[in-house]
Structure 1
């Protein structure tokens, strides 16, 4: 769920910070509202609570957003006929962005597990899987920490990073191999008709990934023994898998890659039309992009409304047993991002100052907030657990305190851990 604040200004995409902030806060509010006992609330507030609990769909948003942001530099180079960005630089930047805060949170969670959840099973094995980003391949290690559940998605994202790099390398190799001769000739060949060729390449990958995922889901059958959230995180993971698997979540990431293609293609088309730099910047924006973004927002909201029940974390079986209403919700997010990127007004509203700050510290919010939740449950004698709070004013008070503490920790994490590594000579050299 890494924030893309490390990208150069030229690679920034309008609206991305706002969507990242919404996704991060959506996940946090989902976990906060799981603590409120729904049957005791007024009917209208039960509806509000159910919608907040669907903030878990922010995980899908993160995958789409990461796919878009991380593939965008590749698309820019591809459409301009330039060499592929160096994989070594990509690996260093991803490691610098993900590893420091994730490792710190994982190791702190591991240490606290012995005091807070000493009966948790496979603690060391889950830690090793988390440290090596392989926890996504088995339900026992699915949650690398018993007391910091959201860390599960990090290994899934790293899997998507690897596939993105390998498949982009294959695309650039394929295009370069098709044309023999000088570098200028290769560049000219890349420029000629490359948007549709690149789209077709990734569209085929999207179809192939979903076919393979369908085979995987149909082939893998887990026993009912120890399955279910009543058996803890390992039982919950057994209920989620194989619907939740790294190949399936890569499908969400792929829709972000296709969104980046649409954004980069429009930019390249407008730049190729000629004109001064300022004129091109104006030409990129259109009011109908605002309409597209608004349609994406509305579609996302309608989808969340239709699945507001049952409450999270109950797994909603859909296409290939995938979570988060794939591909409909991820597609709505992708459409929203494409519209915001070249919008006249809506993208700037979404990227407000608070959203930009939240996006900056969003990775810290994601990897630390659940640990804060667990600690608040511990100091309230276990009342701040799933459906553990009956009074909504008390719930709001504790939730507010959790938010404040999470923002403080995330800010320290960004300023003293994440940002220094991102700005280090190792991470910035090309």
Structure 2
């Protein structure tokens, strides 16, 4: 990954998930009760991860010099935004694969899956793109290549930013391009999982990445702004494989996956702590692969209800509410943070830590409140409804129906289904 600010923004966020009300198939053809309770924590994980991304950008922009740590040592935990890419991709693969796992690793069809993904992801993305273009043109440029131009509109509008370079309107959007390409690969990965098993699926994509890395002249291939999808495909596949735990026999589900995750993460965390951010950023190619198993296992642990204190935290109303708007928060927070750092903070505080604290105290709540409003307008309607006709019917019901019959504010059944 390039160490340039434009290419170091973490992501991605896809706001995807299984149908939380979907019945779990049984061998006799009957359906058991919905499994919503065991998966609620995933939304909380998304919310906390998105919050970390906001804090990372506050630190990245207010304390320049990345990957060199120009802030106090106790803030070093905010230096590793790239790992948010890995976590979101693992969580995305896991969430998308739960419903197919319940159905024998089959979907209702590739076309239907892609249409649902487009319906769920693109409308808020395009709205955030329009907002980012306006901010990038008239307030503060998001790219060191200059303000966005016509090429930016074309490349980012078609979600081709992982294939083609253009002045970015929003430094977080690169990861949306990666995720979009992985959606195209998802049906193929699912086929391999069904025919050959999880080990073959994960091993196949990981070997390709490992061979490329080992054949590179330096510690790993130099990563630029584009063509990151092949490098990150193994972590997405790891999440898909982990979804099998949700539908595994009880003896598998009851294993202490959170402790397994801690054991798997310990050597990676120790290595990162010892070597520091400069070395870590230069070796993200391998760190991504090393940390994916631990992330997969903690997601599986939460999905199966452990550890209980963490699940209780993730299922509190604030955590769930943050999870509901986390995609919107990811999409629009960066223009807010950049505006505060480059236009507002210099008028009131000195550079360095004063600017960092000013940015956190102002940009964080403004980003969350803006994301809440943005989600109500551009995201939640597409989560609650699967078509324009359904959306129009819901709007009519809100205008004319009695309060007791109006649609709930939360996402409806299957709003995030693959």
Say which of 326, 335, 340 aligns to 1:371.
335
Q: In the alignment, what sits opposite 2:4? A: none
What does residue 16 of structure 2 align with? 4
Question: Are the equivalent residues in 2 in contact too, given 1:136–1:155 (CA < 8 A)?
Answer: yes
Residue 58 of structure 1 deviates from its aligned partner by 1.2
Structure 1, gaps ≥5 residues long: 176-196, 223-238, 271-282
State which structure, 1 or 2, has the greater radius of gyration over its C-alpha atoms.
1
- Please name the residue that 2:282 is paired with: 317
Matched, 1:348 2:311: yes
Aligned to 2:372: 411
Q: What's the CA shift for 1:284?
A: 7.5
What is the DSSP-based 3-state SS (H/G/I as helix, E as strand, rest coil) of the residue aligned with 1:161? helix
Q: Secondary structure at the match of 1:329?
A: helix
Structure 1 residues 317-338: Cα deviation after superposition (integer angstroms, max 9, x where no partner): 32xx627x12112222112222
TM-superposed CA distance for 1:390, in Å, is 2.4
The 5 Å alignment of 1:46-61 reads: 46-61=72-87
Closer, same or farther in 2 for the Cα pair 1:151/1:333, shift >3 Å? same
> Aligned-pair distance for 1:86?
2.9
Greater Cα shift, 353-362 or 13-22: 13-22
> Structure 1 396/210 Cα, relative in aligned 2: closer, same or farther at 3 Å?
same
Kept in 1, the 8 Å contact 2:47–2:322? The answer is yes
The alpha-carbon deviation at position 95 of structure 1 amounts to 1.4
**2:71 touches 2:352 (CA, 8 Å); kept in 1?**
no
| Contact in 1 for aligned 2:264/2:291 (Cα 8 Å) | no
- Of residues 365, 368, 390, the one that matches 2:352 is 390
TM-score w.r.t. structure 1 length?
A: 0.71
2:176 corresponds to 1:154? yes
Is residue 63 from structure 1 mapped to residue 63 from structure 2 by the alignment? no
Any idea what the Cα deviations from partners look like across 1:302-327, whole Å, max 9, x if unmatched?
455345433xxx97232xx627x121
**Cα offset, 1:242, TM superposition:** 7.0
For residues 300 and 345 of structure 1, the distance between their equivalents in structure 2, rounded to whole angstroms, comes to: 25
Q: Contact 2:332–2:367 (CA<8 Å) still a contact in 1?
A: yes
Tell me the alpha carbon deviations over residues 53-86 of structure 1, each in whole angstroms, 9 at most, x when there is no partner: 224421211111101111222222126xxx5333
Provide the secondary structure at the position in 2 that maps to 1:260: helix
Match of 1:78 among 67, 81, 104: 104
Q: Which runs of 5+ in 2 are unaligned?
A: 1-12, 22-33, 389-413
Instruction: Kindly provide the CA deviation profile for residues 216-235 of structure 1, in whole angstroms up to 9, marking residues without a partner as x.
Output: 9679x99xxxxxxxxxxxxx
Render the CA deviation track for 1:161-195: whole Å, top value 9, x for unaligned. Answer: 110123324655xx5xxxxxxxxxxxxxxxxxxxx
2:86–2:235 Cα contact (<8 Å) kept: yes
CA positional deviation for 1:406: 0.7
Aligned residues: 356
2:300 corresponds to which of 334, 338, 341: 338
C-alpha separation in 2, matches of 1:422 and 1:116: 31
The C-alpha deviation readout for 1:358-404, integer Å capped at 9, x for no partner, is 1111111111110101222343276799xx72243x53233121111
The TM-score with structure 2 as length reference comes to 0.73
Matches within 5 A, 1:23-422: 23-37=49-63, 46-78=72-104, 83-116=106-139, 120=146, 123-138=149-164, 140-141=165-166, 144-145=168-169, 148-169=170-191, 175=195, 197-210=196-209, 213-214=212-213, 240-241=223-224, 245-261=228-244, 263-264=245-246, 267-270=247-250, 286=254, 288-295=256-263, 301-302=269-270, 304-310=272-278, 316-318=281-283, 322=285, 325-342=287-304, 343=306, 345-353=308-316, 354-380=318-344, 389-392=351-354, 394-422=355-383
Q: 1:383 to 1:137 in 2, by over 3 A?
A: farther
CA contact (8 A) 1:20 1:62 kept: yes
CA distance in 2, matches of 1:366, 1:391: 24
3-state SS, counterpart of residue 79 of structure 2: helix
CA RMSD of aligned residues (A): 3.7
